[in-house]
Every structure is written in C-alpha cells, then in structure tokens.
Amino acid sequence: MRTQVAIVGGGPAGLLLSHLLHLQGVDSVVLERRSAEYVQQRVRAGVLEQGTVDLLTEAGVGERMRREGEVHNGVHIQFDEDRVHIPFKELTGRAITVYGQQEVVKDLTERRLADGGRVLFEVDDVRVAGVDTDDPVVHYTHEGVPHELHADFVAGCDGFHGICRDAIPADVRTVYERVYPFGWLGILADVPPSSDELIYANNANGFALLSMRSATISRMYLQVAPEESLDRWPDERIWAELSTRLGAPGFTLQQGPIFDKSVTAMRSFVAEPLRYGRLFLAGDSAHIVPPTGAKGLNLAVSDVDRLAESIADYYRTGSETGIDTYSAACLERVWRVQHFSWWMTSMTHRFEGPDAAFDRRLQRSQFDYLGRSAASATTLAENYVGLPLR
C-alpha cells in the first residue's frame, strides 16, 4: 500500500493531522495499535486553548464541542484559604473550553471515517524504516497479516511510549528531561462541579485541583507520591483531603460516587529535533509537559497544525521551507509551554527537603503578586488561554 503521509498513532494528534491533510487534498493512512473503543474512552486532558477551539471549529469538527463544551472566562488560584481570580476574558479577550480529549477523538474519528479516511486500529509490530531516504516505509501487522506502507513522509504521533522517536539515531537526538518528586491522584466523580471555574490550590498538605468534565461529572486531583498505591486512598480519604486542600471561606465541596481513580507521575520531557529525514514527531512522542498548565493536547494541536500546512505547501508549491523549519518553529513554542507548565507547577505544589520553608515563602510571594499586579495576572492568563498557533 502507498500513501503520501503515513501517520503512526490514532490519538488526537494523528487523527487531527490526517483530517487537516485531507482538507488540503493530501492523502494519509493512520495506524493505531489500540482499539477504537479504547482510544475513544481513554481519559486525558480536558482543557482546550482558544487557538485549539478555533482550529477545530474552522476544520469542521467543532460542532459538538461548541454545543457541549464548557467555556471558562477565568480560573481561581488559591494559597491556603486565600483565593485569587484570574479573569482571562478581561485580561486577554480570550477564554478556554473544558471538553474531554476522548470527546475530541470521537469527533475526529467519526469525521475521518465519514470522509473515507483510512484509519486502521489494532495494528501490531509497527516499525519504521528508510526515513532518511526518499522512500520511507512503515511495517505493521493487521488482523494477523503483515503489511508494508510506503509513503513520502512519516508522522510519529504515537505518544511518549511509541516507536517513532527511537527511529531517530541517538547520535543526532538530544533529550531534555526533568522528573518531579510527586504525581497526581486523579478521580472522576458522579457529582456536579463545586465551582464554575477551575481551582488550583496550594495547601500545606499539598496541591489540589478542582476541574470538571461536564455539568454532572467532576474531575479532581491531589498531589501524592509518584508511586502511590491506590489502596491507600479509599473514597473517604480522598474527599476529606480534597475538602482540606480546597477549603476556603464560603466554599463547599460537593461529594458523590467516585467511578475512576488513577495516579500519574509528572515529568517534563523534550526530544530534539522533531524532524529527521522524512520522519516528523508531533505531540507526546516529542515532548511531555506536567499537566499543571493544561498544555499537552494543545501543544500537540499546534504541532500538527504546523506540520499539515508544511506538508500541504510542499505538495502545492514544491517548497521545502515549511518542512525544513518545522522542528525549530515547533520547539520555540514547546519551550515557552515547558516554562509556563514548570512555573505553574513550582507555584502550586508542595516541595520537601531542606529548602521547603524557603520555597513556600516564595510561593506565597508569587501568589500575593498575582493578586495585586495586573501585569502578573495577565502573564498567567495569556499563557493559560494559549498564544496564537502561528
């Protein structure tokens, strides 16, 4: 089989890239090792930047998002029992939309299949070869039969644990990584959110985040040890700790049945370059950010938006300028987002060790500055709602 662009990974990055290429007349095939049901039910990020919302809308896959997504014009930052509101709309003219990643995947999958797109789920033994030649090939097995997919370009949208990043030789690849000494215990609860906007809370017991997935389902997080066992966190303890960390005058935390729990370790990760020969990395295959800034999905969208335009321009005009500058252009945004996510994490989490008391005083100073400085609040707001995609 032959195509113009072979896309490894059928999550939001791979599906959106395939759709954007289709809109510009470029053929692609998407290969995904998981089942369609698994990908569409996988709980991940739920905060979309203004640029992501606009792109999905312009690409014709934003109708349900516009109908069911929750638009937030601000966010709350809390230190102990003191709370500051950051008014996004007032400070930047933009907002965020809360809409689950799995819903984005459902919308994209439905659209790609309706358009006749080739999306193959449950493929095995995926391997890329010849990416430094004019005829790269993706080897894979589907329904027990081995296949070869020849393409002009290969897009690695297969996540942090995928195979595409390792196709770039180690001697031309540089990896930057920071592993944080804590993780997030995340829950989904069958209860309406206790706030109309997200609350980031820095408490002496540790970080907490009140978020939501819909008008009836709450999504919340607690800072825990990175290898924490869920057995140590029965529902009663979770609600008690959330109530403590999110506690503030006049605030009541609504409680209900918890139907999902998981612990996620936190890291910052960047692999450079994002291009080697005819292979391009996009999304989590190239970079990971701590979830504090809600940037993972949005950064992937930025990557594939630029990649789709670069590849389409190559076929349209013969120019290789876009594909030649893809890595450097993406990395400029990647490192801006890495800094913001690190900054948000540093401001809101409890750190231990000999400098813990000093760190907490710095955090208090930063919190107070947010409350009295429009410039500081605007910086947070501008980065949170997202810089322009290009």
Handedness of CA 49, 201, 351, 371 (dihedral sign): positive
| Active-site entry in 99, 140, 221, 384 | 384
For the chain, the helix, strand and coil percentages under 3-state DSSP, each to the nearest 5 = 40, 30, 30
Annotation marks residue 89 as catalytic: no
Q: How many CB atoms lie within 10 A of CB 143?
A: 9
DSSP string, 101-165: HHHHHHHHHHHHHHTT-EEE-SEEEEEEE-TTSSS-EEEEEETTEEEEEEEEEEEE-S-TT-SSG
Contact yes or no for 142/120 (Cβ under 8 A):
yes
| Active-site entry in 140, 200, 221, 326 | 200
| Lookup: tokens for 79 | 């230190």
Annotation marks residue 200 as catalytic: yes
| Active-site entry in 22, 291, 326, 349 | 291
Distance from CA of residue 67 to its chain's centroid? 22
| Active-site entry in 12, 19, 22, 72 | 72
Annotation marks residue 295 as catalytic: yes
CA distances from 167 to 86, 186, 274, 326, 352 (A): 43, 33, 11, 18, 38
Q: Is 254 helix (H, G, I), strand (E, B) or coil?
A: coil
Annotation marks residue 384 as catalytic: yes
| Active-site entry in 295, 314, 326, 349 | 295
320 Cβ neighbours under 8 A, 6+ residues apart: 314
194 Cβ neighbours under 8 A, 6+ residues apart: 210, 218, 246, 251, 252, 253, 254
Q: Which residues are known to be catalytic?
A: 72, 200, 291, 295, 384
